[in-house]
Amino acid sequence: MQVLTLGEILLRLSPPGHERFVQADRFEAEYGGSEANVAVALAQWGVESAFATKLPDNALGEAALGHLRRYGVDTAPIAWGGNRLGKYFLEKGAAQRGSSVFYDRAGSAASTLTPEKLPLEDRLQEAEWLHWSGITPALGEGPRRTVEAACEAAQDAGVKVSCDLNYRGKLWGEAEAQRMMRPLMEQVDVCIGGRGDPFSVLGLEDSQDGPPTVEVDEDAYSEVARRMKERFGFEAVALTLRESHSASMNAFSALLLDEADCQTCLRSARYEMDLVDRVGGGDAFSAGLIYGLLEKDNTREALEFAVAASCLKHTIPGDVNLASLDEVEALAAGGTGGQVSR
């Protein structure tokens, strides 16, 4: 096993197409969740990946397990117990109407995780990388302690640790997120975040005046990455720079600052995208960055691979990135994409 991810897998329920909740008389079912999505993407690209969580011992738990196994994810670290699988409901936006998400995950099996119920020390002895996101500590004190114990075990075993800050305002407030997350940063080597995450999760002061804009100030975010790296001692900081022109049209790029080939903050290629499904785009970036840092010759190539992977995920319905390794490599190498393959 190369990569172990730790988090919650959820049942995703969406009205068909772009219908509103009030219109829906049925829901389309998918399975997903930040760290599970990362494990699936890595498995698709030939990386031995495992997912650690807790599932209820019922038909929905078995269905979530089947989803992971379908894509080649090692499910051996999963614990069983609890009463229910967490769910989230997604209403897909279009044009100027944004998408909407609400959660039904209180009391889920994963929210009852504790280090005692999910010991990962032995698993981490076999791994090269541990990945988690800020969503997991937001589920409660037990999941937070589980993440903390896993990070400490990873550090003891010499395992690289990455974290996607992944702030979710519907799970906790900024003050609580900062209080819980900042101590965990001591064990993180690679920190990943979106445009607002350093301010919401880490408490960095935002130097930009006024409300957020669609346009990206590259110099300002390069400075944010530098401050993150300096303040928390990360080996690498990656910031995704999404420009949301509408719910249907986004532009996507990212910055990487590290101690290798991006010692001066590097911005990736920028992709203009007509969205099919935005959910999971950040997870695809995290998976791509992990893959690149494990497999690529230099970190500049790792960044381009990660951004290309995220771009392609936005074209695929559902939570998970099913773009093949060849497709990502071709786009990252400068392919324009969109051509019919005959």
Could you tell me which CATH class the domain 3-332 is placed in? alpha beta
Cβ contacts of residue 173 below 8 Å, gap of 6+?
A: none
CA distance 194 to 189: 17
Distance of CA 116 to the CA centre of its chain: 25
> Would you state the pLDDT for residue 340?
55
CA distance 208 to 210: 7
The tens place of each residue's pLDDT in the chain, 342 residues long, gives 699 999 999 999 999 999 999 999 999 999 999 999 999 999 999 999 999 999 999 999 999 999 999 999 999 999 999 999 999 999 999 999 999 999 999 999 999 999 999 999 999 999 999 999 999 999 999 999 999 999 999 999 999 999 999 999 999 999 999 999 999 999 999 999 999 999 999 999 876 654 556 888 999 999 999 999 999 999 999 999 999 999 999 999 999 999 999 999 999 999 999 999 999 999 999 999 999 999 999 999 999 999 999 999 999 999 999 999 999 999 999 876 666 565
Dihedral sign for Cα atoms in the order 307, 68, 201, 228: negative
Single out the catalytic residue among 283, 297, 319, 326.
283
Question: Is-contact 25 71, C-beta < 8 A?
Answer: no
Dihedral-angle region of residue 26 (phi above 0 means left; psi in -120 to 50 means alpha; beta otherwise): beta
What span, in angstroms and rounded, lies between the C-alpha atoms of 87 and 15?
A: 14
Measured CA to CA, the distance from residue 132 to residue 35 in angstroms comes to: 6
Q: What is the pLDDT of residue 230?
A: 97
Q: Hey, is 142 helix, strand or coil?
A: helix
Crossing angle, helix 174-184 and helix 141-157, to 10 degrees?
20
DSSP structure class, residue 137: G
Residue-level pLDDT at 214 = 81
Residue 283 among the catalytic residues: yes
Q: Identify the H or E element spanning 293.
A: helix 281-295
